[in-house]
Amino acid sequence: MPIQNVLQSGLEKKATRDGYGAALVDIGASHPNVVVLEADLSGSTKTKPFSKKYPERFFNFGVAEQNLLGQAAGFALSGLIPVASSFAMFASGRAWEIFRNSIAYPHLNVKVAATHAGITLGEDGASHQIIEDIALMRVIPGNTVLVPADYNHAASATKAAVAFQGPVYLRLGRPNVPMLYSADDKFQIGGSQVLQRGDAAAFIACGVMVYEAWKAAALIEKETGKKITVIDAYSVKPLDRATILTETKNTKLVVTFEEHNVMAGLGSAVAELLSETQPTRVVRIGLQDEFGQSGDTSSLMKHYKLTAETMLPHLLSLV
């Protein structure tokens, strides 16, 4: 089960990219048809342990991300399961057309694990802090988009992606983030996790924002007594429509949280669903159509009001 007290101090922290790297090694032992492709960033994307254990199944294509995804398509056509890694800016941005036409259009069995997504990348600045990748990948027909919240769910998401037939985009982060789940907690493509239930509002989040949204809900309850439903919508596409509709049926306010531009990401996906099926007020928390900038992760999260504490005044005014 997920942790019960999100306000407890000293929560263990690990990066989602580390969960991905650990899962690859496990997958390598049980799936001899899995190959890992890299764009000269194996130390950062955490594919290096796989390369050391299975060197004959590891391929480095250098700083050439379009070639990386094109070669991944070739491996898939050969009957293998390629897992291609790079920074999210390059995997979803620079190589988008290759992903669309060479992988998604023929619906090939390719997994793209994109690390260092969002402003939490930090000091590399706006040029590398992609805040549009969920939008770019969500709009591709037939593609699957997964955004795990912590180390264990990232490992589970990697294994689920490999077991799934079809293209998958897995969004991973650079920083260490709180461990919310145990290694045994379920991860299902097309699913979500209801972390708590309440009647004051519904908070729906993905990725690093799950902890911040859940913590904000706990702070609101502590201050006002109002309890809020919190949902980890880790499967952004396909979205868990049934759970979201059920859990928001009796609420007048839904707030979405994402480390991404509020345009065309998780918030838009939720708003599209509710406007068509169950009209509800939706407030979207995220980057407000602006680029990131250079700075450490903590400072950037505070600057853009994406921490529980910096979001709290605004959220209190809503609920």
The residue type found at 314 is H
| E strand spans, 164-234 | 168-171, 176-178, 193-196, 202-205, 229-232
Residue in this structure with the two tokens 């809020």, named with its chain if needed: 228
DSSP state of 199: S
> Could you give the CA distance from residue 217 to residue 211 in angstroms, rounded to a whole number?
10
Specify whether the backbone of 305 is left (phi greater than 0), alpha (psi in -120 to 50) or beta.
Answer: left
In a 3-state reduction of DSSP, which class is residue 261? strand
> Which of these, 293, 297, 301, lies nearest to 126 by C-alpha position?
293
- How much is the pLDDT for 209? 98
Would you say 98 and 69 are in contact if contact means Cβ atoms under 8 Å apart?
Answer: yes
Structure tokens at 151: 């180390």
Structure tokens at 137: 């990948």
Structure tokens at 304: 């853009």
In a 3-state reduction of DSSP, which class is residue 312? helix
Taking the domains of the chain in order of start, what are their residue ranges? 13-178, 193-318
Do the domains spanning 13-178 and 193-318 agree at the CATH topology level? yes
> Could you give the CA distance from residue 268 to residue 272 in angstroms, rounded to a whole number?
6
Question: Which of 65, 132, 212, 247 is labelled catalytic?
Answer: 65
> Could you give the CA distance from residue 51 to residue 49 in angstroms, rounded to a whole number?
5
Active site residue 65: yes
**pLDDT averaged per 10 residues in sequence order, the chain, 319 residues:** 93 98 98 98 98 98 97 98 98 98 98 98 97 98 98 98 98 98 96 98 98 98 98 98 98 98 98 98 98 98 98 98
- How much is the pLDDT for 1? 83
What top-level class would CATH report for the domain 13-178?
A: alpha beta
Angle, to 10 degrees, between the axis of helix 209-224 and the axis of helix 308-318?
50
**Fold (CATH) for 193-318:** Rossmann fold (3.40.50)
